Structure 1
Amino acid sequence: MTESMKDFEKELESSFKVIKEGDILDVTVIGISETELTVDLNYYTEGIIPLEECSDDPSFSIKNDCNIGDTIRAMVIDAESDNGAVILSKKAAHNLLVWDELKKDMADRTVFAFKVTEANPGGVTGFVKGVKAFIPASKIGLDYVEDTESYVGMTLNAIIITADANEKRLVLSAKEIARENAVLEHSQKVSKLAVGETVSGKIVRMESYGVFIEIGEDLIGLCHISQITNKFIKSPKEVVKLGDTVSAKIIALDGDRISLSMKALENDIPDEEEDTYEIPDEFRADKEEKADESPFAKLLKGIKL
């Protein structure tokens, strides 16, 4: 089939095509100006998407975000304009269709790079897929954020937790991702430790059942009361106090839990009294006797070893 025949068939198909308001079409960008997009409708006339009908996102740029040859979805808002072109709205089609995408993103726990554009005491706002979204102050980080204004301009990794098409309500949480990252980071740090390793740190918490020791890199291990000392104690306070810097041996790593023993190091300390014990008189050499004439030496006389 020659190119001229293909063109003829295309024109013939277009002549039977009827476009009406409310139709959502896949159109191709064939022209870009400061104020509008010109699109191919595969129709007897071209389509126009005015700048104000492109997007609700204030960061949208018709020059930077659109390219010749792009295929986009747009809704017909005026099938017979005064100048003969079909007027379409990219944002109207987007706002109608995007909520199904957002609901799927929520189910898939898709992570978005959420740029904060505004802030108020209750949280921060930005845009996801051209839809205005909100992150509550309690969901910005691991802890409640008082100074939300400091986040303006920042980009947060966040997931969708509410996507209500009827209320046009889109809520995200960066806390979920921050928590997951913190758990992963903690696990990586723990994986570098080894049972039998000696660590030092400060006692940051005391309970009746033991003490918690911060051993560096935000890692905290538990030294159970039975592992504090070889002596019997009813309370850790009998031996240590909050803020003390102590040394301990790692005796177990169970997942992310670190078990420590302070008394294990006591067993490693040589007994300093070993060479200073008292010798009973009956086993001492007499002052007049030579050093090798002690009762022990006399006993050994005549015995072949």
Structure 2
Amino acid sequence: MSVPQEDPLDSEIAAALDGVDLQGLGAEAESAPATGRGSDKLWPGVVMGISGDDVIVELGPRMQGVCSLREFEEPPEVGASLRFAMRGREDDLWVLSIRAAKEVAAWESLELGSHVKARVSGQNQGGLELRIGKNEAFMPASQISLNRDLDPSTLMGQTLICEVIEIDRSRKRCVLSRRRVEEGERSHALQESIGKLHTDMVLKGKVTRIESFGAFVDLGNGLEGLMHVSNISRKRVENPADVLAPGQEVEVKVLEIKDGGKRIGLGMKQLEPDPWDQVPSRYPADRQVTGKVTRLMDFGAFVELEPGLEGLLHVSQIGVERIRRASDALQDGEEVTVRIVSVDPGARRIALSRLDARGAIIGSEDAVDADVIEEALAKPDAGNLETNLGSLFKKAMQKDGEGSDGAQ
């Protein structure tokens, strides 16, 4: 048979109340003469009229009372039926209080989960002492606020909106929580914020935490989103900590909202200019460009042509001879001259090659300026063709030879 688990909140309250006499918190006030405090009984009465600061009330046959007009939020109408608390007797008139009646009614209507106004009247080791009207209540230290750095003494004399988490009228025991109210307010504000949130919104936030997979960003009003490492920049980011820091203010775009706002995807990359908008015109087929190797894979190498724009140099296009792995011929960070083989804007892919159109490695001694040769072939009447071609090859060989000698 399993042993029932004890409620952590019950244990917390019991520990906070250890040595605290709730009935005794207001013992001094309770010992006042009955004529000064009256009883908790409420008396029905009818407003007969108003004379100066006095509201005249008919309580029954030959029984009248008077209540201060200042206790009313607005002057009562003649004939209005209300309930009053008796506070004594003066000059054959009962002294009544509508304010005290409301306090008694509030105490009688208390139930678990209800919200009530309570004034902080004292502090002890376990928490705060409060008053609901003339009735005493207690608030454990852990239930004072969501802000753990709050000094409870700063709440002395303040009237707080609290939630009833325990009530036992027979023992005059009432335990309150201000933290529960704050949680509810925060949850309500959060739901309101989520309701206003939609994809493609651009918001300002602050980086709260950085992980290897991305960064968490506080958007305010209890909202927090995750910016995946792939959405930080159009430039390749290996480690988010290299470009972001906790506390840094950032501008982000809302990419997705899932699980009712519990998961919010963010991005900074989407706010940067997209290099692909100009790729087809700037990188036509057969154009030769210089880039930097950013990643080496067995099947090839990724080459950065400009910030945020990479192409794939397949292993079959790295050299004339067969190469098993890209790392056998290239190094990470190495600058290489490549030829644009094809561009696929829809798939965002650029195919590269280190071989020229004739299959020779670009810049090698076997490479000849194809444009010059084709121009010579297109003009057979411009002198002796064999002599012209021979001269071209000779110049190319001499040029490559000079380059080789200089490298020795």
Give the TM-score range, shorter chain.
0.5 to 0.7
| C-alpha deviation, 1:41, in angstroms | 4.4
- Higher relative contact order at CA 8 Å, sep ≥6: structure 1 or structure 2? 1
Which residue matches 1:175? 179
Provide structure 1 residue ranges, at least 5 long, that are not aligned to the other structure. Answer: 1-21, 50-60, 299-305
**Greater C-alpha radius of gyration:** 2
Q: CA deviation at 1:31?
A: 8.6
Matching residue's letter, 1:210: G
Which 10-residue stretch deviates more, 157-166 or 241-250?
241-250
For these two proteins, the number of residue pairs brought into alignment is 249
* Correspondence 1:102 to 2:106: no
What amino acid does structure 2 have at the position aligned with 1:116? R
What's the secondary structure of 1:186's corresponding residue? helix
Structure 2: stretches of 5+ with no match in the other structure: 1-39, 290-336, 340-355, 357-366, 380-408
Distance in 2 between the 1:266 and 1:24 partners? Answer: 70
Match of 2:130 among 122, 125, 145: 125
Q: Cα gap change, 1:184/1:25 in structure 2, threshold over 3 Å: closer, same or farther? A: closer
Identity between Structure 1 and Structure 2 (%): 27
- What displacement does 1:102 show? 1.8
Give the C-alpha shift of residue 205 in structure 1: 0.7
Q: Quick one: structure 1 residues 134 and 200, their matched pair in 2 at CA, closer, same or farther if it must change by over 3 Å?
A: same
Compared CA separation, residues 189 and 73, structure 1 to 2 (3 A) = closer
The residue number in structure 2 matching 1:53 is none
Contact 2:138/2:175 (8 A) holds in 1: yes
What one-letter code is carried by the residue in structure 2 that aligns with 1:123? L
Superposed CA offset, 1:1-26 (max 9, x none): xxxxxxxxxxxxxxxxxxxxx99753
* 3-state SS in 1 of match to 2:147: coil
1:151 aligns with 2:155: yes
Structure 1 residue 116 displacement after superposition? 3.2
Relative distance call for 1:32 and 1:252 in structure 2 (3 A) is same
C-alpha distance in 1 between matches for 2:195 and 2:264: 11
CA pair 170-145 structure 1, distance change in 2 beyond 3 A: farther
Q: 1:253, CA displacement in angstroms?
A: 1.0
| Alpha-carbon distance, 1:181 to partner | 2.0
The answer as to whether partners of 2:47 and 2:58 remain within 8 angstroms in 1 is yes
Report deviation, 1:243.
4.8
SS of residue matched to 1:166 = helix
The alignment partner of 2:170 has SS state of coil
Name the TM-score, length of structure 2 as normaliser.
Answer: 0.44
Cα distance 1:212–1:31, how it changes in 2: closer, same or farther (>3 A)?
Answer: same
Q: Is contact 1:32-1:62 (8 Å) kept?
A: no
Structure 1 41/221 Cα, relative in aligned 2: closer, same or farther at 3 Å? closer
Letter in 1 for 2:147: D
Q: Secondary structure at the match of 1:138?
A: helix
Question: 1:116 and 2:124 equivalent?
Answer: no
2:255 and 2:187 mapped to 1: Cα distance? 22
Q: Call closer, same or farther: CA 1:183–1:286 in 2, change over 3 Å.
A: same
